[in-house]
Amino acid sequence: MMEVSEESRHVSSHVQRTILFLSAMRHFAAKLDSRGVRVRYIALEDPQNTQSFASEVTRAAKALEAAELACTLPGEWRALEMVRATGSNLKLPVTIWPDEHFLTNPEEFAQWANGRTALTMEYFYREQRRKTGYLMESVGNSPRPLGGEWNFDKENRLPFGKRGPDPRPPAPLWFRPDSITTKVMRTIKALLPDLPGDDASFGWPVTREQALAALEDFIAHRLDRFGPYEDAMWADEPTLYHSTLSCALNLKLLDPRECCEQAIAAFHAGRVPLQSAEAFVRQIIGWREFIRGVYWLEGPGYAGRNALEQHGRLPGFYWTGETDMACMKACIGQVLETGFGHHIQRLMVTGNFALISGIHPRAVSDWYLGMFVDGVDWVTLPNALGMVMHADQRPGAAPANTGLVGTKPYVASGKYIERMSNYCEQCRYRPDERTGPTACPFTVFYWDFLLRYRDRFSHNQRMRMILKNLDRISAPARTQLTIDADLLRTKFGITPAAPEKA
């Protein structure tokens, strides 16, 4: 096992993400050691450490006189290619084992995808339900979903009323940093002092025991309301009814099957409604597996896609939270403080802003990869590049074809954010205004985005209604929207201001 600074620097990595990965590794190494498993562990502060993955594998292979390089399929193409290249440089055979912490492997996904014109998560999810038998019943000889529906999206997606979540959601379990974690925190402060984010609130699960406690706590206290409110947001409520288990899942402290099975058991025991159990199972056996399938299916070139040809720069406030947009300030501020944001904050606030304002997808996906404690390439990339930036259309596909992960872009004006949260109440902008000094930047960029891509999306059935609304806007008002959006892009540093003429 090796801790190399390269891994915290190839994208700018939040200090809590770095602490979490290293602390979980050190706890795991200690556990292996206590079981009598021999581990060669290179710590960050080890003077011999060359701080790069490839050179440390080479050093270890030579020191141990290795006859073979073997590893579980890593979480990113970069690491897989590095292992293969190192094996080839050292003239050693390389064995890649399947990762058993998932329900499907890339070959199975490729088989499922083969011959399909569109990859629709919903159909993949239904197959997963049939395969696992989760929340299924048999009627005669044919299996069908419990409750007669594959999903309860219509009943879910509720906003909170004016009073907000009532009662307030209990906060997730917080784990006091132990001596191993505290040492990691000190080492990182000394050796990587410039990492973004704050470490003061660090309390993520770093052991299997803590992860199991976090799972139990979620099922006992938050899962019951997870379904209905999974799309809602509320100021000063950073986690609401979400599980916050993604980092424990990605670090393999939890197995996806046990998460689903405990949620299903809670449903059968009458402790949570079907709509919440199903929504949670869907995120894990549906979205999580589907996203990973797309990542491995599309190959290393996937990261470079930019189907909408957007080239703007990531505004500085993504690194500081200093902006007068209340929703962005809250969502980014929370990420800096904790390394976490829930799905709708990622998709409909920070992500939506990036898409409609025209930021380069790679700048966006790098930010998500480094700034969230659960960031690992296989999951960040299709979410950021595909779901958020709608940039993942295959090269050469007709423009009318949709993206791979999303069949339509997830775009929304400030009015959506107003409906699903209370952020707008504290904001100097007005979500329903699209022109003038208090026009909401989301609303301006939303209409500008539709204007910029009107032709491209005109063949997409799912965009018909939205484009009809666009056509109702008068020509002068459209021109004004374009001007205002350009001014905002310059103000936020998305388009660099032209240098003044001497």
Q: Residues in the site for ligand SF4, rule: CB under 6 A?
A: 325-327, 414, 417-418, 423-424, 427, 429, 431, 440-442
User: How many residues in the shown chain lie near ligand FAD by CB under 6 A?
Assistant: 29
CA 398 → CA 97, 116, 306, 456, 461, distances in Å?
A: 37, 16, 14, 10, 15
Binding mask 332-361 for ligand FAD (x = CB under 6 A): ----------xx--xx---x----------
Nearest Cα neighbor of 361 from 314, 317, 419, 407 is: 314
Binding mask 221-260 for ligand FAD (x = CB under 6 A): ---------------------xxxxx--xx----------
- Cα(93)–Cα(79) distance, integer angstroms: 16
Which of ligand SF4, ligand FAD, none does residue 411 bind to, with CB < 5 to 8 Å depending on kind? Answer: none
> Is 383 one of the binding residues for ligand FAD (CB under 6 A)?
yes
Which of ligand FAD, ligand SF4, none does residue 351 bind to, with CB < 5 to 8 Å depending on kind? Answer: ligand FAD
Task: Tell me whether residue 8 or residue 51 sits nearer to ligand FAD (CB atom).
Answer: 8
Minimum gap (Å) between residue 289 Cβ and ligand FAD:
8
Nearest Cα neighbor of 421 from 339, 341, 327 is: 327
Q: Are 405 and 382 in contact (CB under 8 A)?
A: yes
Provide the pairing of β-strand 136-139 with 94-97: unpaired
Which of ligand FAD, ligand SF4, none does residue 442 bind to, with CB < 5 to 8 Å depending on kind? Answer: ligand SF4
> Is 262 one of the binding residues for ligand FAD (CB under 6 A)?
no
Q: Is the dihedral of CA 359, 362, 364, 367 positive or negative?
A: negative
Q: Is the dihedral of CA 123, 300, 111, 259 positive or negative?
A: negative
- Cα(122)–Cα(124) distance, integer angstroms: 5
Minimum gap (Å) between residue 455 Cβ and ligand FAD:
26
With CB under 6 A as the contact rule, which of the stretches 29-37, 323-331, 367-375, 443-451 interacts with ligand FAD?
367-375
Minimum gap (Å) between residue 437 Cβ and ligand SF4:
13
- Cα(328)–Cα(85) distance, integer angstroms: 41
Task: Tell me whether residue 227 or residue 441 sits nearer to ligand FAD (CB atom).
Answer: 227
> Is 86 one of the binding residues for ligand FAD (CB under 6 A)?
no
- DSSP letter string over 370-420? HHSTT--HHHHHIIIIIIIT---PPTT--TTS--SS-SS-----HHHHHHH
Nearest Cα neighbor of 435 from 480, 479, 487 is: 480
Task: Tell me whether residue 89 or residue 426 sits nearer to ligand SF4 (CB atom).
Answer: 426
Task: Tell me whether residue 73 or residue 326 sits nearer to ligand SF4 (CB atom).
Answer: 326
> Is 275 one of the binding residues for ligand FAD (CB under 6 A)?
no
User: In this structure, what are the phi and psi dihedrals at residue 203, rounded to the nearest 5 degrees?
Assistant: -160, 30
Q: Name the site residues for ligand FAD (rule: CB under 6 A).
A: 242-246, 249-250, 280, 283-284, 287-288, 291, 342-343, 346-347, 351, 368, 372, 374-376, 379-380, 383-384, 387-388
